[in-house]
Structure 1
Amino acid sequence: MPPIKDEPLTSNEPGTDRLFKFHEGDESDGENYAADHASTFEMLYDEMEGRIEENSFSVWDQLLDDVNNDFVTACCDEVRIKCAHHIAGLTDIVRRRLEGETNVNESQAYPFLVAIFDFIGNFGAPSSGAHHPIRRFVRISRLKYNETTNSYMSAFPMVSPDLSLWRIGNGVDAERKPSTWRFNDGFVDYKLDPNDRPTKRGVKANILSQSANYARLHMSARPFLLFSIGLLVFGTRFCVCIFDRGGVRISPELHMWDNLDMLVRVIRSLTCNLSPQRIGQDPTARLVEEPGEPSFYVVKPIGKDGRSWRTIGSPIWSSLSLFGRGTVVWKVVEYDERSRTGVGPTMIMKTAWRPAHRNPESSLSRYVTAIANQNPEISVAESLTGGDVFVEGGSPPDRLLETEMPGDQYSASGSTAPEMPQGKLITVPYLRGLEVREGDSPILHRVITSTVGHPLWEYTDEKELAKGFITILKSHRKLCEQNVLHRDISPGNILLAENPRPGREAFLSDFELARVGDEVGVYIYERVGLQSKGKRSRLSKKTKHLLSGSGTAMQAPITGTLQFMALDLLDVLVTQVEVPGSRVEFKQTMYHDLESIVLVFAYVLLRKMLTIASSSETYKAEQELLEEQFKKSFGLLKVKDIQDARLFLIAFRWVDREPLTSFAAKHMHKKLLEVIGVIYRWMKKLSSQKQQRGFLSTLPEVIKDPMETTQNSTESFQLSHEAFINLFEQLLEE
C-alpha cells in the first residue's frame, strides 16, 4: 500500500482577488451542544444586548384580549380564599430566603405555584358551563429533543425549565407527562429572590439569560414554532417574556398578589384561551394525527408551486440559535389533499429567517442550480421552488439577481411570472402586531430542493468519504470560477448523495449566504445599535415599528458558522469584541471556504469515532475522551475560545492522545490516518504563517537571529483545491 504523498500547496488559484460588499453579519447556527451552562448564559446575555424591549405593553396586547372581566373578578375572589394556604406558603419561602436562610430552595416553591396555576386554569365561573383547560403547568426534568432522535440532533441538551406548559390531549393528559419538548407550549422560570428580575444588569447568568436558553431550545425542538412565551417569576413578582427571532419583549413587572387580576388573566390565557397560532404556531403548517400512524405536518404551498407538502419524521436539522436564522430542515413529500397521503419522491424543505435587504435564498439557489446544469462538474442541491412565507400560503415572484435577466426563472417551464399575492407576509413585526411595512425584517423564508442526502459521518468506508470530498472540492472550485462563493461551509451544508452517479457522490447545499457575481468593496466592521428600553406608557400600534438592524449585530460581510469559520475571520471578530468600534479592512475569499472544508473533514472523523465509541460499553473510556475533545474542538461558544482552539489545532491533535490513538488505528483506515497527518502539517504551517504577521515580526531587523541559518524558512503558501483533491485521490488507490 503506497503511502500518502504530501503535495506542495500552491497560491496560484484564480479569481480570488476580489472584495465584495455585505451589510449584516449572522449568528452562528453551529453545534453548541457541548457548551457548559455558564458559557451558554454568557453568550445569550451578550447576544440579547440591543434586542431587549423592556416594559412592553405589547405583550399584554398579544396575550390578554380574550379574558372576560367578570370572570377575572370572580376568579380572584376564589383564589384569595381557596388558595390562601398556597399563597402563604410561597410568600413564606421568599421571606426566609431574603432573611438569609440556607435550607430553602426553588424546588420548594413549585408545588405552590402549580396549585395556584391549576386552580386558575380549572376555575369555572358560576355563569359558565363545563370547562376544561387545554394546557397546564407541570414539573418535568431533563426534557429531550424528541422520542426518536436523528444523528444531527443526538446531543441536544437535556435541560428543563422550572415548569413547562403542556398541551392536554393528543394522547397527553394531566397525569401522563412525556419528556420531550414537542408537547411544550411555554415555560416558567422561577427565582426565589425578588431582586433577580429580568431587567437586572451585570449578572450574565440571570433569569433572562436562563429563559433565553429555554426559548432557543423550545423553538429548536418544537416543530414550526415562530416565538416562545416564558412566564418569569421572581419572589412574588412576575412578568411575561416573548422571544422571537428579532429579540425579546418583557412585559411590565407586577406583584402576584397586589396585581392578582393580571396574574389570573395571564394564566387563564396560557392554559385556556390562546389558539395554537397565538401561542407561536406557524399558521402555514398544520399538525395531522391519524390513529395508529405517525403524526406529521402539512405545509401550505411555497412560491409559485401550488403543491402542499407533508413532513417525514422529525427534522433532520434544527438550529439552536436564538436570534440567528433559526434554520430547520425536513424531509418532505408532496401531499395529496384528496387522498390525504404523500405522493412522489422525497424532497428537502428548509425554513429560515432572512434579512429583508439580502437576496432570498430561493433566488440564490435557483441561480446556482442553473449554473450546475451547465457545468457537470458542479454537484449542488437542485432548487425546486421557494419564497418568502405568507400566512395564506404562496409567495411573491422570486427576486432577480443582478446577474439574471427578467423572465429567466420562468422561461424554462414556459410559465409567466405570477402576480404578487395579496396576503400577510410573516415577519417579526407581523408577529408582534405592528404595522406592516415594506422592508420589514426578519422575514420567514422557505425553500424546497429535490436532492436528498445523508450526513458525511455516516460514510461506509474511506473511499466513499474520499469520493464525497473530491466531488465537493471540484464543485467548489468550479463555483469559484463562476464567481459564486459559498461562505457558510459546515457539516450541515455538505451531504453524501443517496444512490449517486459517478462524480456526484456528495453535494453542496444552503447557498443563503453565498456571494454571487463581481461585487467589489471594502468592508468596515463595527458595532451598531443601542439598548432599547420601552417607555412606561402604552404606545399606539400605529406609531410602533420594529427597526431592522438594531442591536449589537456586526454590520459587516463576515458570514459562516463560528465553529467552522476560517482563522482570519475569527481574528476580525475577536478584534471587534476586544476593541468595539474598531475599523478592520478585510476580504472573504475562497481560501476561507477551503479552511472551513478542512474543519468539516476533521469534524466528520471525530464524529464518526464518537459514534463508534458510543455504540458499545467496551469503549466507555474512549467515549468520554472523545466527548471531551469534541467539546474543545466544536462545542465552544465564545469567539476567543474558538480562536484559541484553532491556533492549537485541537480538532486534529486528539489522534495523538492515548487511548484514542489506538482506538483510531483500530477503527480508521491507515491511509485515512495518514491524510489526517498531512492535513495537520498543512494547517500547522498555515497557523504558523498567520502568527508571524503580528507586530513583533514587522520590526526592523537590527538584531540578528543566531538560529536563522538552522531554521526552516516559512514560505508563503495558500490552501488549494488541487492539493486536497490529489490527497483524497490517493485514498482511492489500491
Structure 2
Amino acid sequence: MGIKRWDPVECCLYSVAKQNHSDHCHAVGLEASNYLHGPVTVSEFMEASFPGWKAPSISDKQLAKYSTLLDEIVPHRTEACGLSEKSMYEPIMKSFGAICKKQAMPLRFHICANERLPDEPEFGYRAAPDLSILSRDTPEGHWSRSLAFIEVKPMEKDDPLFHHTPGKDLDLKDSHVNVWNQIQSYAASSYRAVPRCFLLAIGIFGDTARFFRWDRSSHIVSHAFRYKTHPAPLIKFLVGLSRYAGGGVDQTLSSGIVLRQEQDLVEHHFARALDKHLLPPYESIHPGRSLIDDSTRLEVKYNGGVDVYVTLGPPIFCSRSIFGRGTRVWLARMVGCPIDKEDADYVVIKDSWRERALWTEGDAYNAIHGDSNVFGVARILCDYDVVTDLNDKIHRTSGAHLNGVIDSWGLPRHDEPAFTDLVHHRCILLSVGIPLWRFSSTRILMEAIRDGIIGHRNMCDRGVLHRDISINNVMISADASKESNAKGFIIDPEYAVLLDSPSSDDDLCDLTGTFQFTSVARFFAGHGVKHAQWHDLESFFWVTVNVVLKHTDCSMLIDGIRVSGPVAVHLIFTDAPSTRKSFIETHAYTLNVAGNAPLTKCIHVLAGLVSTHYPSKPQEETTRQNAINNVNGMLSFMKERPPPEEIERMEKIMIEDNMKRSFSLLTHDRVISTIQ
C-alpha cells in the first residue's frame, strides 16, 4: 500500500458510473471493514469521540428512573417473521426524548423507518435507518441531514459484531453482513448529505446497544453493553452528541444564505453559470429543498484576512466514500462584488482532508508554477488548513490518536501506520473547469485532454510528477482565454512528487492513483519499481477510453460479440487490471466511434503506443537476441576480447537501449502529436 490508501473497493466509490443501492451497500460495507478499530471499551470510545470533554455525573436515583423508561423498549412477535423491532421505535423515541428533556439536551428523535424511496424494492437493503437524532431547532428534512442515526434490531444476536473477536480480522456470518452493510450505507448517505468532521450512531440489538463513530481515517465501534440495566453510557453519549463539536457537523460549512442581497447573488450567478454550461440544472436531492437551501456561505482565509463567498448551489462533486480525502467541490462567487459585474471571476472551492505528512496542495501548485503560470495546469488563489492548532481534535481525524493507542500495545510495528493522520484543508482555484464527460463535441474533449497532457509535460519539465491522473483530475477549460488559451488543464496534484526531493525514490515506489485509471504495469511491478512519466500517460489513455465508451455512440468486439460502449466499460474497467491489459492487446483495435473516423483512429494509435510497454514474449526475445548479436558484431572488430563481466555489461546496456527504442514509445510528444 502506498501513501495514498489505495483500494479497488474505495476507488470504485469515486466512479462517475451510478451504482444501484445494493451494490453501493456492499461496497461501503467492505470498505468500512478495512478501516475498523475495535470493538473498544465504552470509555475508550467516549475518549476518542469526545476528547477532552467530561460528561456530567448522574445520580443512581436518576439512572434507576431512566432504566424504568428504557424497559419499555421490547420487540413484538409476528406470525409472519417472528420477533419484529417495529414496536421498539415509539418507546425509544419516548424514553430517549424524556432523558434528553431531563438532562437539558436540545435533541429530538424521529422515526424514519417507513420513509422508503419511491423506487426502493420491497425486499433487500433499506434506504433509511430506523430513527434519526436531530437538533431540537432543526426543521423537518431528510433523515441523512440529521446529527446521528439509530439502527434497531429485535435480538442481541442480530448485532453484526455479535460473534466478532476483537483483534481479529472482521469475518461476519452471512446473517450479519446485511446489517453491517446497511449501517455503513446510512453513514455514507449521511456524509454525502452534510459536510461532517465525524459521524455518530447507535445500534440497538434487543437489550444491548453499541456505539459507532466514523471519520475520514477510521471507523471506531464500542463494545456492546446492556443499556436498560446500565444506561449511563447511553446518556453520556447523548449529552456528548448534543454538546460537543456540533455533533460532528462541520460548523465552518453550516451557514445558510439568509441575506436577501446574497440570495439574489446566488440566483443571478447560478443562472449565468448555467448559461455558460459551468453547472448542470439544479435538482433538489431531498424533497422540499431549494437552490438557496443547498447553497452555503463560508469564509475563506486569504492574505491574512477573510473573504466571504457563497456557493452556487450544492457541490458539483462529492466523494461517495466515507474514508479518505472526502472531497467536496463547489463553484462559488465572492460576496461584495456588484451583482451585475459580469466579468468578475468565479472560483472553485475544494474542501478535503489531506494527509498531514504530505505537502499541501498549495505547495504542489507553487512548485509547478513558481513565479508564472504553467500552461495546462490549474491556477490557484490560496490554500489553508481549516485550523492550525495541532492539538485540534475536530478538524483532524482520529488516525494519529489510534496509531498511538496501537503502538502502546507493544506489538511488532508495520512499515506503515494502521490509520492515516488527516487534516481538514481547503483550496481555492482560479481555474474553472467543466468535467470531461460534459463535452459539447469530441473535438473539444480531445483538445482538453491534449492540453492536459501538455500541462503534465510542463510539470515534468519542472521536476514534478503528478501520479494521480483520473477522469476527475482532467478538466475542460470553462474560459480558455483565462488559461493562456489552454483548452483543458489538470488539477489535484497533492500526490505529486518533487523529483529532486530526498524522499522521491521511496515515494515513487508507492502505488497511488485511482484504480480504474492507474497504469496496468503498476499492479504487476515489484515494490522497487518507480512510477514513471509514461505511467501517467497511460492513465490519460484510460481516461480517454472511459469517456469515449460512456459518452459517445461507439461499439467494439469482445469475444466475437459487438457490444455498445456502456456495456464495454463494465467489462474493461473491472477490479482486475488484466481486463484492461486484454483491451490493449486484443480489443482496442475493434473499437469504432460511429461517424467519427478521426477519433476512432486516434484511439487505435494511442492503444498502439501504450501496447509498446507490454510486449509479447516472442517480441522481447527477438529484441534481446538482436541486442546480443549487435554486441557480438562489435566484439569482432576488437583486437582483444574484453573479460566476460565487461561483455555482460555491454549486452545489458544494448538490451536496455533496444528495448527502449523498440517498445517504450509512449512519450509526451508522440501522444500529443497523435491527438493533434
- TM normalised by structure 2 equals 0.70
Structure 2 letter corresponding to 1:569: R
Name the residue aligned to 2:457.
Answer: 477
Structure 1 residue 652 displacement after superposition: 9.9
Structure 1 residue 508 displacement after superposition: 1.0
User: C-alpha deviations, 1:25-78, integer Å up to 9, x for none?
Assistant: 5565552453825751564255225x4462252433546966773695475265
Structure 1 residue 348 displacement after superposition: 1.0
Does the CA contact (< 8 Å) of 2:518 and 2:539 recur in 1? yes
Instruction: Work out whether 1:605 is the aligned partner of 2:587.
Output: no
d(CA) in 2 for partners of 1:126, 1:328: 36
Match of 1:118 among 93, 102, 118: 93
Q: Secondary structure at the match of 1:357?
A: coil
Q: CA RMSD in A?
A: 4.6
User: C-alpha deviations, 1:659-711, integer Å up to 9, x for none?
Assistant: xx7xx52xx633223323333444455445499889xx99xx9xxxxxxxxxx
Match of 2:129 among 124, 137, 162: 162
d(CA) in 1 for partners of 2:532, 2:30: 28
After the TM superposition, which residues 606-685 of structure 1 pair with which residues of structure 2 at under 5 Å, given as runs?
606-609=549-552, 628-634=567-573, 636=574, 641-649=575-583, 665=594, 669-684=596-611
d(CA) in 1 for partners of 2:673, 2:351: 37
Match of 1:512 among 486, 494, 511: 494
Structure 2 vs 1, CA of residues 520 and 191 (structure 1 numbering), >3 Å: closer, same or farther? same
Structure 1 letter corresponding to 2:69: V
Structure 2 vs 1, CA of residues 597 and 342 (structure 1 numbering), >3 Å: closer, same or farther? same
Structure 1 letter corresponding to 2:395: I
Structure 1 residue 719 displacement after superposition: 1.3
Instruction: Work out whether 1:89 is the aligned partner of 2:75.
Output: yes
Aligned residues: 558
Match of 2:183 among 211, 222, 230: 211
Structure 1 residue 274 displacement after superposition: 4.2
Match of 2:529 among 574, 586, 591: 586
Does the CA contact (< 8 Å) of 1:136 and 1:168 recur in 2? no
Structure 2 vs 1, CA of residues 348 and 128 (structure 1 numbering), >3 Å: closer, same or farther? closer
Name the residue aligned to 1:202.
Answer: 171
Instruction: Work out whether 1:103 is the aligned partner of 2:81.
Output: yes
Structure 2 vs 1, CA of residues 343 and 235 (structure 1 numbering), >3 Å: closer, same or farther? farther
Q: Secondary structure at the match of 1:279?
A: helix
Instruction: Work out whether 1:354 is the aligned partner of 2:354.
Output: yes
> Structure 2 regions of 5+ residues with no counterpart?
119-124, 165-169, 264-291, 405-418, 556-562, 629-660
Instruction: Work out whether 1:442 is the aligned partner of 2:422.
Output: yes
Q: Secondary structure at the match of 2:196?
A: coil
After the TM superposition, which residues 397-476 of structure 1 pair with which residues of structure 2 at under 5 Å, given as runs?
426-429=395-398, 441-476=421-456
Structure 2 vs 1, CA of residues 718 and 678 (structure 1 numbering), >3 Å: closer, same or farther? closer
Match of 2:384 among 370, 374, 387: 387
Does the CA contact (< 8 Å) of 2:584 and 2:607 recur in 1? no
Structure 2 letter corresponding to 1:347: V
Instruction: Work out whether 1:721 is the aligned partner of 2:674.
Output: no
d(CA) in 2 for partners of 1:475, 1:569: 22
Name the residue aligned to 2:409.
Answer: none
Match of 1:557 among 504, 510, 529: 510
Structure 2 vs 1, CA of residues 497 and 127 (structure 1 numbering), >3 Å: closer, same or farther? closer
> Structure 1 regions of 5+ residues with no counterpart?
1-20, 94-100, 145-157, 397-420, 526-554, 573-582, 614-623, 702-713, 730-734
d(CA) in 1 for partners of 2:151, 2:663: 54
Structure 2 letter corresponding to 1:331: L
- Percent identity, aligned pairs only? 18
d(CA) in 2 for partners of 1:430, 1:605: 39
Q: Secondary structure at the match of 1:379?
A: coil
- Structure with the higher fraction of residues in helix conformation: 2
Match of 2:253 among 285, 288, 302: 285
Name the residue aligned to 1:309.
Answer: 309
- TM normalised by structure 1 equals 0.65
Structure 1 residue 191 displacement after superposition: 4.6
Structure 2 vs 1, CA of residues 126 and 231 (structure 1 numbering), >3 Å: closer, same or farther? closer
Structure 2 vs 1, CA of residues 232 and 723 (structure 1 numbering), >3 Å: closer, same or farther? same
Name the residue aligned to 1:528.
Answer: none
User: C-alpha deviations, 1:236-261, integer Å up to 9, x for none?
Assistant: 32111111122122223112433345
Name the residue aligned to 2:147.
Answer: 185
Structure 2 letter corresponding to 1:302: K
Does the CA contact (< 8 Å) of 1:523 and 1:584 recur in 2? no
Instruction: Work out whether 1:60 is the aligned partner of 2:46.
Output: yes
| Structure having greater relative contact order (Cα 8 Å, sep ≥ 6) | 1
Name the residue aligned to 2:27.
Answer: 40
Name the residue aligned to 1:138.
Answer: 112
Q: Secondary structure at the match of 2:88?
A: helix
Does the CA contact (< 8 Å) of 1:25 and 1:556 recur in 2? no
Structure 1 residue 496 displacement after superposition: 0.6
